[in-house]
Amino acid sequence: MAKTYIFLGPPGAGKGTQAQRLVEEKGFVQISTGDILREAVKKGTELGKKAKEYMEAGKLVPDDIIIGIIKEKLKELEGKDIILDGFPRTIPQAEALDKMLPEVGRKLDGVILFDVPDEEVIKRLSGRRVDPKTGKVYHIIFNPPPPEIEVIQRDDDKEEVIRKRLEVYHSQTAPLIEYYKKQNKLQVIDATRSPDEVYTELLSVLK
């Protein structure tokens, strides 16, 4: 049976980076809710049309529509190992996912929490700078831009915005951590280390 994993962790924990490596090196498919919502809207599927109405009105797309779109996607990806990134975000979504997976012939193999303290997240994200001409991303500590390049800080990389995002993350995701702990599905990885070290541990967890 194809494998199904959920990645949890705060913004800036490196979930996307790690998922990308699994996609390139191990043939996983990364499913991010935002991407598949946009794809369904673009394709003009029934659920995509419904989602579009909410998105255009600036409202959150209801859980049943998101679950429906994910279910369609999983049917398409039969036999492929997948990572759910950014979903579920809430307990009702997690419960709906538990119910839906057997319907598409899958089970949840594990939930991986990329654990990074808030202060480290703030250091990582608030240090990001972008070259507006090329879109290349630098970091004032880890990867400083050359002196001749004028870089800017994006609004969502400002400290007060990051703190707000972390508040939302903790209020939504903390209950999920407990939920999957009770199911004995949760594995915690210390994501403060280098991406290579994190990836090595991730591979041993996925075995």
Instruction: Check if the beta carbon of residue 79 is closer than 8 Å to that of residue 97.
Output: no
Give yes or no: 15 in active site: yes
Catalytic residue among 106, 123, 128, 129: 128
Catalytic residue among 136, 154, 163, 164: 154
Whether residue 12 is annotated as binding a ligand: the answer is: yes
Whether residue 15 is annotated as binding a ligand: the answer is: yes
Instruction: Check if the beta carbon of residue 124 is closer than 8 Å to that of residue 15.
Output: no
- To which residue do tokens 């990806």 refer? 77
Instruction: Check if the beta carbon of residue 128 is closer than 8 Å to that of residue 139.
Output: yes
Catalytic residue among 71, 73, 80, 165: 165
Whether residue 61 is annotated as binding a ligand: the answer is: yes
Peptide linkage before 88 cis (omega within 30 of 0): yes
The structure tokens listed for 125 are: 């994200």
Give yes or no: 128 in active site: yes
Whether residue 181 is annotated as binding a ligand: the answer is: no
Catalytic residue among 15, 106, 124, 129: 15
Give yes or no: 21 in active site: no
The structure tokens listed for 180 are: 């999957």
Q: What is the DSSP string of 114-134?
A: EE--HHHHHHHHHTEEE-TTT
Whether residue 107 is annotated as binding a ligand: the answer is: no
Give catalytic residues, as residue numbers.
15, 89, 128, 154, 165
Binding site for ATP: residue ranges? 12-17, 128, 137-138, 193
Binding site: residue ranges? 12-17, 33, 38, 59-61, 86-89, 93, 128, 137-138, 154, 165, 193
Binding site for AMP: residue ranges? 33, 38, 59-61, 86-89, 93, 154, 165
